Amino acid sequence: MGTSTDFDLFRLSEDHEALREAVRRVAEHKIAPHAAEVDDQARYPQEAHEALVASDFFAAHVPEAYDGVGADALATCLIIEEVARVCGSSSLIPAVNKLGSLPLILGASEELKVKYLTPLARGEAGFSYGLSERDAGSDTAAMRTRAVLHGDEWVLNGQKSWITNAGVSEFYTVLAVTDPDGPRGGNVSAFVVEKSDVGFSFGEKERKLGIKGSPTRELLFDNVRLPRDRMIGEPGTGLRLALRTLDHTRVTIGAQAVGIAQGALDFAVGYVKERRQFGKAISDFQGIQFMLAGMAMKLEAARQMVYVAAAKSERDDADLAFFGAAAKCYASDVAMEITTDAVQLLGGYGYTQDFPVERMMRDAKITQIYEGTNQVQRIVMARQLLSRS
């Protein structure tokens, strides 16, 4: 027979609930009013940026040792979820700050951590992540960016594609081949590149279907000279560190997907209770009720998967790779389904920019693609299953 303590495992702590309420207040009052304009103008959500910095939600994952809040993995997911509920573009600010800086937290020297995590925690600089290339997306080991050691400096040449918040962030974790003749995947190292480094520039902003407020650009490296101490960890460990990072940060994309889906469901529920046809609210029709029930059921299943994966991320459990991939994959598929259904529930209105659900549907799509497509997530899950003894 279970005890009350056993049941507490399935309930957020009072601190986590208080955090959710605090983030929701910031999101609704400081971020939501600008979400439609940010999307329409495809501009960076500066209002959200400033609100997140002011409330310590900008990079809450940074440990207290570096002037951070030290938020655990679940708390970070709650922040991302609540911001995504009103604006998918804005939720990428805390999400990408974790993605870009987690390699340092996992593998950098103490000197690098102090130098780069401290300004991130204070909201003085953002942190992006450079792994993908034009011809090395899912096949990350095929990257062509090179770093060659010359004296006390690494000289970096090449490019990175699809980099979130590129041009806005001050710091970038960049993966490059440092031993062209070394074993595939074991010849890659990770570096910190600063926006001000000579020879480092950005491509044009991509014109995207969704998350239009978050700039996506190429990183271009033309003989960028980096001090030797800019390397994160040991030579040849970069790809292993990058993939370990993704095991953790896929959970945050699951949280983003849950938030987007929740925003769409909330709006749809309010709409069907007000919209009247045939003399009554359309929420009185069983067909509508069944749609809402299915949407809510799948959303709650996705949320629980994300929270369990977040707990495993915090503990760095051995089965995190499976649970992180599963949470991201399921939550993003559910978000795409729920946002599409929300558009359907609003009928013709749902297809217009006068209502937020069409934006949420467009924003949801990318969650099935970035940080590993959902097809890749299924490969990750299958490998984990087949490797078990």
The catalytic residues are: 371
The token duo for 51 is: 């609100």
Q: How far is C-alpha 168 from the geometric centre of its chain's CA atoms? A: 16
Q: Give me the DSSP letters along 289-346.
A: HHHHHHHHHHHHHHHHHHHHHHHHHHHT-TTHHHHHHHHHHHHHHHHHHHHHHHHHHT
Could you give the angle at the alpha carbon of 177 between the alpha carbons of 151 and 198, nearest 5°?
A: 55
The span from the CA of 20 to the CA of 24, in Å, is: 6
Burial of 296 (0-12, 13-18, 19+ CB in 10 A): middle
The span from the CA of 184 to the CA of 139, in Å, is: 11
Could you give the angle at the alpha carbon of 191 between the alpha carbons of 42 and 253, nearest 5°?
A: 45
Helices marked H in the chain:
4-8, 14-26, 32-41, 46-54, 73-84, 88-107, 110-121, 238-274, 286-315, 320-345, 357-366, 374-387
Give the three-state DSSP class for 177. Answer: strand
